[in-house]
Amino acid sequence: MVRWLGAGLAFMGLNTLLLYLMVGLGGMTVWLATLLSAEIGTILRFWVNEHWVFAHRNPTFRRLLHYHVANAGAFVVWWLATNVLAKAGVHYLLAGIVAVAISTLVSMASNFLWIWRHKHTPADQ
């Protein structure tokens, strides 16, 4: 859990940096920048979670696909919250950070209870 949270915090920083580069320096719209930064972060975060957090040495396309699907729910929550807050006058960088806190529970549940859950065998029961 600590590694998962640590990875999440690191990627919040990366996401904030990507938003700044795309919106602040690149002039991209917030809606497009949030979409692109989330996709970049999702792919990179899968590899970190796969190897460092859950110690899977053989990543599978199936887990990557499941991770993508699970993150879609958390992403929708994050994207909506970021854009609603930005539209309400919250600075886009702060809006992105607050939205991370809102979507973390969705992500935590999908990661621990679905994608990397411990599968019980008959011998475990």
CB 37 within 8 A of CB 24: no
- Residue that wins the pLDDT comparison between 119 and 99: 99
Written as one letter, the residue type at 86 is A
User: For a pLDDT cut of 70, what percent of the chain falls above it?
Assistant: 95
Express each pLDDT in 75-89 by its tens digit: 898 899 999 999 999
Closest by CA to 87, choosing from 79, 35, 22, 106, is 79
Domain spans of the chain? 2-124
Express each pLDDT in 13-70 by its tens digit: 898 999 999 999 999 999 999 889 988 988 888 888 888 888 888 888 888 898 888 8
Enter the tokens of residue 60. 């599978």
> Picking from 7-21, 77-91, 105-119, which range would have the lowest pLDDT averaged per residue?
105-119
pTM over 0.75? The answer is no
Contacts 24+ apart (CB under 8 A), 31-39: 31/83, 34/78, 34/79, 34/82, 34/83, 34/96, 35/79, 38/75, 38/78, 38/79
